[in-house]
């Protein structure tokens, strides 16, 4: 057993919370050390995130990847909601008093805008664009699903969450988990609906893998959309 898994093996909570928290903590530094730092920090956190998924995966007994048609369909549906609702409601930053979304104005050093920072089609443009798509599609889904859909939702039902079946439906936990997930995104309404779809999928199928597939499909399609349309505000 690797050192990280060994340290977390005594606590089911830590095994599902620590990787997610570390990933989020590193995210905070994106753009804080200068404009270019958002790209290099993202590279670092993607590598670390991938390693944590590999290292802690043996402790996630409920994590079983399932490439089901339901998962793919749910992922496409959420992508449609995310893009379709854009501009129809104020972003979280606006509700909290800010003026810009995460795409930000051209001078915003914390915004992720490949067209602004690199020559279109250049090696750096393709590398960091591909990195963002791969990271969001392969690393983010297992980390977020194991935290939100496996741990957080079930912990709201009972502190001994491992005894709660993944298929268990609870209105209070369902709503609170969706609101919390939505608050993690500037596109909060799309985030709430996204959480409802993913959590509903877990409750319906009684397993986590379908939601991981759905999340991966959503993020992959969204990443492709961002690059194709130059919709940097989603990143």
State the pLDDT at residue 136: 96
Whether residue 21 lies inside any domain: the answer is no
Whether residue 53 lies inside any domain: the answer is no
| Domain interval for residue 226 | 64-100+107-234
Between CA 152 and CA 16 the distance in angstroms is 9
pLDDT digits (tens, 9 = 90+) for 200-233: 999 999 999 999 999 999 999 999 999 999 999 8
Whether residue 27 lies inside any domain: the answer is no
Whether residue 6 lies inside any domain: the answer is no
The pLDDT of residue 105 is above 50: no
pLDDT digits (tens, 9 = 90+) for 147-166: 999 999 999 999 999 999 99
- Higher pLDDT: 67 or 75? It is 75
State the pLDDT at residue 107: 44
Between CA 207 and CA 66 the distance in angstroms is 9
Whether residue 190 lies inside any domain: the answer is yes
Whether residue 37 lies inside any domain: the answer is no
Whether residue 174 lies inside any domain: the answer is yes
* Residue 32: φ, ψ to 5°: -80, -15
pLDDT tier, 102 (very low <50, low <70, confident <90, very high otherwise)? very low
The pLDDT of residue 76 is above 60: yes
Whether residue 201 lies inside any domain: the answer is yes
Q: Count CB neighbours of 156 within 10 A.
A: 18
Cβ-proximal residues to 193 (8 Å cutoff; 6+ apart), any chain: 78, 81, 85
The pLDDT of residue 114 is above 80: yes
Number of compact structural domains in the chain: 1
Contact by Cβ (8 Å): 12, 56: no
The pLDDT of residue 106 is above 50: no
State the pLDDT at residue 103: 43
């Amino acid at each position: 057993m690797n050192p990280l898994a060994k340290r977390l093996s005594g606590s089911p909570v830590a095994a599902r919370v620590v990787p997610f928290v570390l990933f989020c903590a590193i995210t905070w530094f994106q753009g804080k050390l200068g404009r270019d730092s958002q790209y290099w920090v993202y590279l670092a956190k993607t590598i670390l995130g991938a390693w944590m998924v590999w290292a802690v995966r043996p402790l996630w007994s409920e994590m079983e990847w399932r490439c089901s048609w339901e998962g793919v369909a749910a992922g496409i549906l959420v992508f449609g909601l995310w893009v379709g609702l854009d501009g129809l409601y104020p972003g979280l930053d606006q509700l909290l008093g800010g003026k810009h979304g995460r795409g930000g104005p051209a001078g915003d050093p914390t915004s992720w805008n490949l067209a602004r920072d690199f020559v279109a089609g250049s090696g750096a443009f393709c590398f960091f664009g591909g990195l963002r798509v791969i990271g969001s599609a392969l690393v983010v889904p297992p980390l977020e699903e194991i935290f939100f859909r496996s741990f957080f939702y079930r912990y709201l039902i009972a502190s001994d969450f491992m005894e709660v079946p993944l298929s268990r439906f609870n209105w209070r936990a369902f709503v609170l988990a969706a609101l919390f997930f939505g608050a993690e995104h500037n596109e909060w309404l799309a985030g709430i609906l996204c959480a409802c779809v993913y959590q509903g999928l877990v409750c319906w199928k009684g397993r986590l893998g379908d939601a991981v597939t759905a999340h991966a499909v959503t993020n992959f399609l969204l990443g492709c959309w961002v690059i194709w349309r130059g919709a940097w505000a989603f990143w």
